[in-house]
Amino acid sequence: MEAELKEMLTDLDTLKRSLPDHPSLNSSIDKMQLRVEHLTNLAKSAPGRRLKVKDMSAEVVDSNPYSRLMALQRMGIVENYERIREFSVAIVGIGGVGSVAAEMLTRCGIGRLLLYDYDKVELANMNRLFFRPEQVGMTKTDAAVQTLSDINPDVVLESYTLNITTLQGFETFMSSLKNKTFCPSKQGIGVDLVLSCVDNYEARMVVNQACNELNQTWMESGVSEDAVSGHIQLLIPGETACFACAPPLVVASGVDERTLKREGVCAASLPTTMGVVAGLLVQNTLKYLLKFGYVSPYLGYNALKDYFPTMEMKPNPQCSNAACLERQNEYILAKPARDAAAKAKKEEASEPDSLKDKINVLDDSERNITLLQESETSLPKSATLSLIASITILMEGFVPSNPEVDSLADAQIRLSLAMEVLDLNLIKQRLDHLNAL
């Protein structure tokens, strides 16, 4: 617009110079020139864009968009935050969860985002975050690229306006995932993680099929039709249950997997539930990519009770998905080598002296999910002692102004771990006893 206005000024100037003997017309042209200058100022005050940043700096200045992220390194949470620029994440479904997930990853400075959706923005989407009323009518992919490229021009955005459940859509989906141009040296296919943020069973089964075929780790997400529960799930082909391994569990998790777009039926949705699910999903994505903390195999969110169920699912040897069975066989065949590597690593490391240490030991090949499973079978004596101390503090109740209770939150975490570690027999005994009364 500014260029057009500049040309306009030149036009008016030419006109004025061709009318030297018309003072009244000249003053009218002067007035128009002032008007154009005013319009130029108006256009200039419209949104400016931030410039690209070459290297992520940890410098603490207000103008550094990455200072608060690079601080994660200084605080010892992440070893090398800047690695995030090497990663490609595919987000399938740019709705209530997918759009927020895309914005979070964009603000975190992810290297490359691949976005898939075929839908358009409607006013009915305005009760969830991200899309704005002025984007109504645009495709969700176009609207997302518009907003995300303004927020962070450093992120490489690739958008695909297509339906992955169609034959052609699936082909494009597969070839886009395989494309390694962004980082030719990387292992595996062209993306590091696939996030499924779709709202129907059919699309989930398609993502499942693609990831099983490509041996690609992915994360599932979903929100129930009544808007008050949701979940995220990590799927590693061959190692964990795939989406086809355990269909009934999906029903158990409270998610209605039939399409949400049935004629005349309108699912409820809330920006809160969607925001929490997107936050948990991207948090687990960051933990998975940047190798910190514990990546949850399954995490549910029951909004009515603020309850967060967790579970783990092994693959089903009778799974109906042929590619899943292939991945399962590969995983079993690789077991001896994996065990040997784990054993070598274990011998190398000194014996951890607390549960906390145990959890923080990260293993590249196995991820810490497996390590946590191992810790279930044996509990070192020091950890037991520490647990008893923590529980004693809890049992004595909360004493205000007592500096000792600084460790209360820590005690609660330990207690929860203790409950997971203890077998359930004791609890059953107690209930049998109650029932006999």
Q: Report which DSSP code applies to 407.
A: G
406 binds a copy of itself (CB under 8 A): yes
Residues 195-254 that bind a copy of itself (CB under 8 A): 225-228, 241, 245-249, 251-254
> Per-residue x/- mask for a copy of itself, residues 27 to 66, rule CB under 8 A?
-xx-xx--xx-xx--xx--xxxxx-------x-xxxxxxx
282 binds a copy of itself (CB under 8 A): yes
Among 348, 351, 364, 432, binds a copy of itself (CB under 8 A): 432
- Residue 15 CB, nearest approach to a copy of itself (Å): 6
Tell me whether residue 3 or residue 167 sits nearer to a copy of itself (CB atom): 3
Q: Pick the catalytic residue: 108, 245, 266, 319?
A: 266
- Angle made by CA atoms 278, 327, 93, in degrees to the nearest 5: 25
Please give the Cα distance from 274 to 44 (Å, whole number).
36
Residues 101-120 that bind a copy of itself (CB under 8 A): 103-104, 107-109
Handedness of CA 255, 260, 265, 269 (dihedral sign): positive
384 binds a copy of itself (CB under 8 A): yes
Among 167, 184, 185, 306, binds a copy of itself (CB under 8 A): 306
328 binds a copy of itself (CB under 8 A): no
Among 83, 86, 118, 129, binds a copy of itself (CB under 8 A): 129
- The H or E element containing residue 205 is helix 201-214
Helical ranges in 51-200 per DSSP H: 67-74, 98-107, 140-151, 167-178
Q: Please list, in sequence order, all residues whose beta carbon lies within 8 angstroms of the beta carbon of residue 435, skipping any fewer than 6 positions away.
A: none
> Per-residue x/- mask for a copy of itself, residues 141 to 170, rule CB under 8 A?
---------xxx------------------
Show the tokens assigned to 193: 């993680």
Give the chain's length: 437
Known catalytic membership, residue 319: no
Tell me whether residue 160 or residue 243 sits nearer to a copy of itself (CB atom): 243
Helical ranges in 291-334 per DSSP H: 322-333
344 binds a copy of itself (CB under 8 A): no
- Residue 201 CB, nearest approach to a copy of itself (Å): 15
Please give the Cα distance from 176 to 160 (Å, whole number).
9
Among 6, 17, 74, 178, binds a copy of itself (CB under 8 A): 74
Please give the Cα distance from 56 to 74 (Å, whole number).
14
Tell me whether residue 37 or residue 171 sits nearer to a copy of itself (CB atom): 37
280 binds a copy of itself (CB under 8 A): yes
14 binds a copy of itself (CB under 8 A): yes
Tell me whether residue 211 or residue 241 sits nearer to a copy of itself (CB atom): 241
3 binds a copy of itself (CB under 8 A): no
388 binds a copy of itself (CB under 8 A): yes
Residues 346-365 that bind a copy of itself (CB under 8 A): 359
Q: How far apart are the first and last CA of the chain?
A: 82
Rounded to the nearest 10 degrees, how much is the dihedral formed by the CA atoms of 50, 75, 233, 116? 10
- Number of residues counted as binding a copy of itself (CB under 8 A): 158
CB 168 within 8 A of CB 123: no
Binding segment toward a copy of itself, per CB under 8 A, in 86-94, 197-205, 290-298, 327-335: 290-298
Query: Order of strands, edge to edge, in the sheet holding 156-161?
Result: 156-161, 112-117, 88-92, 193-196, 218-223, 229-235, 298-302
273 binds a copy of itself (CB under 8 A): yes
- Residue 377 CB, nearest approach to a copy of itself (Å): 13
The maximal CA–CA distance of the chain, rounded, in angstroms, is 112
- Residue 256 CB, nearest approach to a copy of itself (Å): 11
318 binds a copy of itself (CB under 8 A): yes
- The H or E element containing residue 161 is strand 156-161
State phi, psi for 6 to the nearest 5 degrees: -65, -45
Among candidates 306, 274, 284, which has minimal Cα distance to 236?
A: 284
- Residue 173 CB, nearest approach to a copy of itself (Å): 26
Helical ranges in 316-400 per DSSP H: 322-333, 335-348, 355-360, 367-377, 381-395
List active site positions. Answer: 266
